[in-house]
């Protein structure tokens, strides 16, 4: 089955996908806000706010992690240089007889 869109997603689709839940939540809040008691509104507002923070937490942690150990950080550059150096070493030959002799304490 051929894909008509060529596999690329226009930027406006991603933007509208990200903002749609926020707009729906705001609309529901405006509609239901006057129907609820003040104490109930406060509790639900705090709960929904906590869920929003929990939903954003992976993005924040990923961004901080990228800054600390990403490819352009000092640690990332060191890691990249070390992998380049280690690639030249190669894998040492494994000798099964030597390994068995070391296990028996003869070598």
Within-domain flag for 49: yes
* pLDDT class of 1 with cuts at 50, 70, 90: very low
Q: What is the pLDDT of residues 64-94, one digit of tens each?
A: 888 888 888 888 888 888 888 877 666 666 6
Going from the C-alpha of 56 to that of each of 42, 50, 67, 99, 104, the distances in angstroms are 21, 10, 17, 51, 55
**Percentage of the chain lying above the pLDDT 90 cut:** 0
Classify residue 75: in a domain, yes or no: yes
Q: Please tell me the pTM assigned to this model.
A: 0.46
Decide if 76 is inside a domain. yes
Residue 95 lies in a domain: no
The answer to whether residue 81 sits within a structural domain is: yes
Q: Mark 34-47 as b/e (b = at least 16 C-beta within 10 Å).
A: eeeeeeeeeeeeee
The per-residue pLDDT for 90 is 61
Number of independent structural domains in the chain: 1
Q: What is the mean pLDDT of the chain?
A: 77
Would 54 be classed as within a structural domain? yes
pLDDT at 71: 81
Would you say residue 18 lies in a domain?
Answer: no
What pLDDT is recorded for position 28? 80
Residue 104 lies in a domain: no
Residue 85, domain extent: 41-89
Whether residue 7 is predicted with pLDDT greater than 80 in this model: the reply is no
Please determine, for residue 57, whether its predicted confidence score (pLDDT) is greater than 60.
yes
């Amino acid at each position: 089955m051929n894909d008509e869109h060529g596999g690329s997603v226009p930027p406006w689709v991603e933007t509208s996908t990200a903002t749609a839940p926020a707009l729906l939540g705001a609309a529901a809040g405006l509609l239901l806000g006057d129907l609820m008691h003040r104490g109930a509104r406060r509790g639900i507002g705090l709960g929904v706010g906590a869920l929003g923070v929990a939903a954003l937490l992976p993005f924040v942690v990923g961004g901080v992690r990228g800054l600390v150990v990403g490819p352009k950080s000092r640690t990332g550059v060191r890691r990249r240089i070390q992998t380049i150096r280690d690639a030249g070493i190669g894998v040492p030959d494994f000798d099964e007889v030597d390994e068995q002799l070391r296990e028996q304490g003869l070598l």
